[in-house]
Amino acid sequence: MKLPLFALVLLTMQAAAPQQQQPAPPRPTQPRMTSSSPLNDSFDELLIRIETTAAQYRSLIPSLTVDETADTWVTPPAAPFKHHVELKSTFRVVRQPNSPNLKESREITQIDGKPYLPEDRARIPMLFDGAFSGGQSLYFRPESRHCLTYIAAPGLTKDKLIQITFYAQKSVDNDPTCSAITPGLKGGARIEPLFLQVVHVERTIPTPIAIQRKTASFSSVDYAPADFGDLSVWLPTLIIASTPDDSRHFAARYSNYHHLTVNSTILPGTITEPEKSEPPKPTPPPLPRLRP
């Protein structure tokens, strides 16, 4: 049987046409790594960048004064009944000459809305200091890397923050280079991912060790940027602390940061007579204070 001419041409074209290849499955691609995204860094790289930010905090913080409004209270068994006071103070941080150390001091001006008097000291359940020189700059620095174990939570928190927990290694009690880290310490920090600034840090110490070392068993510090002219530094805005038996508490807010300036004038030819010393007054018992 003879086929029509157009059928022969069609068969010839089908025979000559190359077979179509099946498309290859897509190759998996790796996420693009950029130095501007800390979530793409390795954990060691992330820690180094956070330590760098904390080091900048230590180097940039100026001598300053800030308004402190604190609530502090005591409950049984440390007192027969709950006792609460509100303090208003001028808190000062002074940078020591030629030293990275910071000296903290507090001038209490009001207690429960009335002018503060020296005899009111015994009414204060608890005070806190050390957050400016400790806190984030204590837990995120190269010197503390071998004293602490750090763990990063996957992804970001609901507030879009990086979350890192840390705890003291068992060797800190016998390592003199870890003397600033309390044995048994557990803590954590939340860090904003854009500039890697610590916005919250907290730590807990086992009750027996906190009692032995006369320190608070829990403390936390919240940070926010404060402006000093052209300089912006992340500084404490909220500090919370409590004693091992949870009977003494301290919660303070900080606002109105300013440079601390000291002005003095010496008049030529003026001789100042030394002040007559007064007999020493009895020292009141020390208040419970927090060591970070």
The answer to whether residue 3 sits within a structural domain is: no
Helix then strand then coil, % of the chain, to nearest 5: 20, 35, 45
- pLDDT reading at 284 higher than 60: no
The number of folded domains in the chain is: 1
- pLDDT reading at 169 higher than 50: yes
Separation of CA 204 from chain center: 14
- pLDDT reading at 95 higher than 50: yes
Which has the higher per-residue pLDDT, 276 or 99?
99
CA distances from 265 to 135, 239, 270, 272, 291 (A): 37, 37, 11, 13, 37
Q: What is the residue type of 274? A: P
pTM of this structure: 0.76
The answer to whether residue 25 sits within a structural domain is: no
The tokens for 218 are: 């829990």
What pLDDT, in 10s, does the model give residues 242-276? 998 889 999 999 999 999 976 544 455 444 444 44
Which residues in 49-185 belong to E strands, given as ranges? 64-74, 83-95, 102-111, 114-115, 127-128, 148-152, 162-168
Q: Are the C-beta atoms of 82 and 73 separated by less than 8 Å?
A: yes
The answer to whether residue 284 sits within a structural domain is: no
Which residues in 96-217 belong to E strands, given as ranges? 102-111, 114-115, 127-128, 148-152, 162-168, 186-192, 197-204
The answer to whether residue 99 sits within a structural domain is: yes
Give the residue carrying structure tokens 């301290």.
250
What pLDDT, in 10s, does the model give residues 117-162? 999 999 999 998 888 887 788 899 999 999 999 999 988 999 899 9
- pLDDT reading at 187 higher than 50: yes
Q: Are the C-beta atoms of 226 and 257 separated by less than 8 Å?
A: yes
Strands 83-95 and 64-74, by their bridges, are antiparallel
User: 65 — phi, psi (to 5°)?
Assistant: -130, 145
Distance in angstroms between the alpha carbons of the first and the last residue of the chain = 102
The answer to whether residue 95 sits within a structural domain is: yes
The answer to whether residue 131 sits within a structural domain is: yes
Find the helix or strand (DSSP H, E) in which 53 lies.
helix 43-60
Which has the higher per-residue pLDDT, 40 or 210?
210
CA-CA distance, 17 to 9, in Å (whole number)? 12
The answer to whether residue 101 sits within a structural domain is: yes
pLDDT of residue 282: 44
Question: What is the dihedral angle through the alpha carbons of 288, 180, 186, 38, rounded to the nearest 10 degrees?
Answer: 130
In sequence order, the β-bridge partners of residue 148 are: 168
The answer to whether residue 276 sits within a structural domain is: no
pLDDT of residue 268: 53
pLDDT of residue 263: 55
Residue ranges making up the domain that contains 121: 54-261
Peptide bond into 77 cis (omega under 30): yes
CA-CA distance, 94 to 97, in Å (whole number)? 9
